[in-house]
Structure 1
Amino acid sequence: MDRQAFYRDPYPVYAEARRAPGLTFVPELDAWLVSRREDVREVLSSPDVFSSAGAMRPDHVPGPAALAELAKGCGGVQAVLTADGDAHRRLRRPLTRALSPARVAATLPFVRERAEALVAGFAADGRVEWMSAYAEPLPAAVAGRLLGLDPEDTPGAVRAARRAEELLFTELDEEGQVAAAREVVGLQHLLDAYARARRSDPRDDLVTDMVRDFAPGDGELTPDQRREIVSNLENALLAGHLTTTALLGVVVLDLLRDRRQWELLCERPELVPAAIEEAARFEAPVQGFRRTVRRPVRVGGTELGEGDVVFVSYASAGRDAEAESRPDEFDITRPASRHLSFGLGPHGCPGTHLAKEQVRITLELLLRELPGLRLADQEVVMAPTLIHRSPEALHLEW
């Protein structure tokens, strides 16, 4: 199968893998697919056996010209997503603090304000392209505020973070690679400037938290400290909005694709939290991550050796008929289940609560302001990536 076609619709491969004995090696992933919920749970619960070092292995390695541009930046070192053990715990600490219940609660008035302003910007038009008009800008603004970026810097910073994803996971020609690399380098220098400014002028934001945690003291930041801070801020900026953007896309798509679900939600708005959980189960916003085997181990009946790579599919786990009744049906009245769409264990998504709150506020706003919402185009194309599961475009009308 063509890799892009697989990325756009991986569910048939997932289903076949769940039915097959043992694990299935998927050439498009160049990895063993961990597809059943209990096997996914086992791998995620065993970080001492399955390393995260290659979690974000690129689909496309940039060419020499792009690498020469990236060399002008100040990032490129280990970030929390690919760290293990003590290093991971140290790198995750400021994220946990920044995404604490108290910090999230303090952010919600800003989320509501931005959500209402975005909807007000298109409510009178009768139609909208949801992804570009709302699903992307809302989480971007929230992520920028979380980091402590000035509002005028946020759109460009988020665009550059997305360009970093494109550079590694999209096939670009040399000119496109170089252009993307230049934007990434620009973002790195911007984040570096914020880090150095927060050294002398600390604030209540993630940049300050990372500076304090990764570079204790009050002296000038060293080059190594700056690279580590920038790499982890860059990671936080991308992860901080991409998952929420994806979830905002799929929850609206799934609710409107079967209009009975949307009408039911209009009648019973108390089902909003259940709708969010069902969307996450049905279309995991992040499809999964790779893990590298540290020592010989048996998973799902398959013997794996040191150095073997597995792809741990959160999305496939959500469709496992052994763990879920009617797994391929989207149903917001489904009894609560312990899906794994936000991960599990030490690498579980630290921003889950904030992401869900943004989606909750959004659905409550749409139910109030645009109850007549419907799909303007039934042919929705999903983005060709497993890093986030979302429509390329989602045209709505009312």
Structure 2
Amino acid sequence: MNLVCNHSEARSFGSLDVIPVSKKFHPPFTLKKFEVRLKRGRRNTKGENEVVVLQLKSAVHGYRKELDFLRFIRVVSIWKKTFGTPLVLSGRSLVYVAADSLILQAESTNQINIPAYIRYLGSTVGIEDLTLKDYIFLHDVMVKAIQCKGSNISVSVLPGTTFSQIFIDKQFSLCTDISSEQIQYSQALEPFNQCRNYIVLVKICFKRYLTLLETNVCRNNSLDYIAPDWSRVVLNPVVDGTDYINATWLPGYTGEKEFILSQHPSPTTVSQFWEMILQTGSKLIVCLSVIPQQFWPVPQTPLVFQGLSIWLESEGSMGGYRSHQVSMERAGKTTTVELVLCPNWPHQSVPVSNCVHLVDCVNKKIPTGPVVVVDSYGATEAGIFSVLSSLVRQMDTEATVDVFYWFKAINLSRPGIWISPDNIVFVYRVLSELCSIHRN
């Protein structure tokens, strides 16, 4: 989300006026721009000066703290090159300086020595404020930096880059690695929320099995893809006695909750789906699934669930894709959401870069609320869409792409979403073709 700041928020510091210009939100940080000017009547040969402030945010539940810190360092590095001026640090400045320097050392010499650098840092600036907790965090950051070395790639070299199978397999392994202690499924695995009609014997947490009775109410199309507790969408008020729906919040380029990844609504979950749309304030639904079950209303036949009326307002297209304008009304309040249909995306895209057309269409009109992306199980296709949406915008604004970061971040929110290294290969192919097109 981007905000244009009001000049009335300007503040004065002695002979200087500091005027906020803009504020942009990203999952690990906030980017603010200011203009610094001398007060009127004072001579200023340099005119006004632009200042950029990058503020690191706390990682969500701590699951991505090392990953987010690395992304923050890389973004700051881009701005350092842009301005070519000294960097002013505050907060955990020693940890930042140490991590930034050690990353550069690892990239140039292919080796690091954390204790030696800390001793050197202590001899030059003093490290009294560096705690044992900071040192452990620095070590963990460097482990992550070494693991994902080479994943942040400039768009200028991406088209000519060849990725070995060893590199792809390693990235896939690291992106999908997650400890069972980090992710809990207490609500998804409640018997009341289990699936009826789709499967009888399902695999749970990869090692435990549960026989499900056909009398159980359907909440999950497949237990291979379910919503963990910390990132699931919580219905409030509850629907049909539960706050659970198999839908997950996903980070995007400009927000921690930019996307909602959802399975295709079944006849027994369609009421929860539309309640989620209303409660989260979503204005855009992208449906990629090939399941023939229609979950939106047909002309002149509204859907009604617990006082919520849903009807088809109009039919049209968005960028060549079939779309519907759907209105919802409850207690006299009406809201409209756009539903875009693109079944079997991205499998029919030839060349593969054509699949970015849908991503571009959605990126151009990302609303204030989250974009709900639907596929059959709330799985790989929807995940690839959200990854490409973020990477295309990163490519345009930072001139780099970090496939590892987005694959890892989304897998933490929706474990098991990536099924093979081919998922990473596909995204690299799309981005490489896209860079070639832009360069030509």
TM over 0.5: no
When normalised by structure 2's length, the TM-score is 0.26
The TM-score, its normalising length taken from structure 1, stands at: 0.28
Give 1 or 2: higher strand fraction: 2
Give the structure with higher Rg (CA). Answer: 2
Task: Name the structure, 1 or 2, with higher relative contact order (CA <8 Å, separation 6+).
Answer: 1
Q: Which protein has the bigger helix share?
A: 1
